[in-house]
Amino acid sequence: MKKFLAVIASLLIGHLVFAEEIKDFGRDRLNKSPRHADWVDIKSGDRTIKAFVVYPESKDKTPVVLVISEIFGLTDWVRSLCDELAENGVIAIAPDLHGGQKFEDLDGARKATSALPNDQVQRDLDATADYALTKIPAANGTLAVCGFCWGGGWAFSYAHMNSKLKAAYSFYGVAVDNENDAKNVACPVYGFYAQNDERVDATIPKGEELMKAVGKKYEPVIYNGAGHGFMRSGEPNNPDKREGDAKARDEAWARWKTLLKQL
């Protein structure tokens, strides 16, 4: 766990793939979406946090995917991704782990995220997971987790913290780094990585070795020509869209849609 936190700190310091000014987007998709969405209050210890929930158009109860944001917090892009998940048949719930903070630049996002206590993040994730499993009538009792960058590392880490998870989807997040955590991973972990992201990719081989040694499923895929953060930077609506990332995003979504159907 200590190494995980050290790598995350390194990512926060060295995360330079985005322009210093944060350009958020995704609100157009949210405004045009036919799907129902809610803001909900969730009790987490002595705190109350907000979470954004989007429901699929379905006549049946469906799985829930817990969405862990990047260092930028609960942006319009993260919420638009929740809508895209719901479009693909699952309920998406994204807790606001940053307490409503908005960031005008990357440095502010780094500082705020690095200041979040890890035990608080875990409590908030636990509270959100419990809400998903007990307070959403349209949910069918199946829970998965996904995350991006900082959230991708947390998604892999949370897979050994919550035994109720059925799958974890880690997007360019660091892999498990010790045998004890690997032993406690409760579900298959599917990794989505960028070719041009050696800082994160360097954690994959050890993660594969550890997971294989304890008989756990870990399937990393590295997308050629992509850079860190390709799910955001490859979005069609991103004003700074990068073509290599757009191709990787499309390939990742095709894979992810297949995996979501297996929940």
**Reported pTM:** 0.91
- pLDDT for 27: 93
Give me the average pLDDT of each 10-residue run along the chain (263 residues): 46 38 82 97 97 98 98 96 98 97 88 96 98 98 98 98 98 98 98 98 98 98 97 90 94 98 97
Cα 249 off chain centre by: 14
Burial (CB count <10 Å: 0-12, 13-18, 19+), residue 13: exposed
Task: Report d(CA 26, CA 21) in Å as an integer.
Answer: 16
- pLDDT for 240: 85
DSSP state of 21: B
- pLDDT for 1: 56
Q: Hey, what domains does the chain have and what are their CATH numbers?
A: 2-260 (3.40.50.1820)
Q: What are phi and psi of 31, to 5 degrees?
A: -70, -30
Q: Taking the alpha carbons of 54, 56, 57, 58 in that order, is the dihedral positive or negative? A: negative
Q: Give DSSP secondary structure letters for 150-166.
A: HHHHHHHHHTTT-TTEE
Task: Report d(CA 151, CA 159) in Å as an integer.
Answer: 12
161 has which bridge partners? Answer: none
Task: Report d(CA 188, CA 140) in Å as an integer.
Answer: 19
- pLDDT for 245: 96
The candidate with the shortest Cα–Cα distance to 65, out of 157, 173, 142, is 142
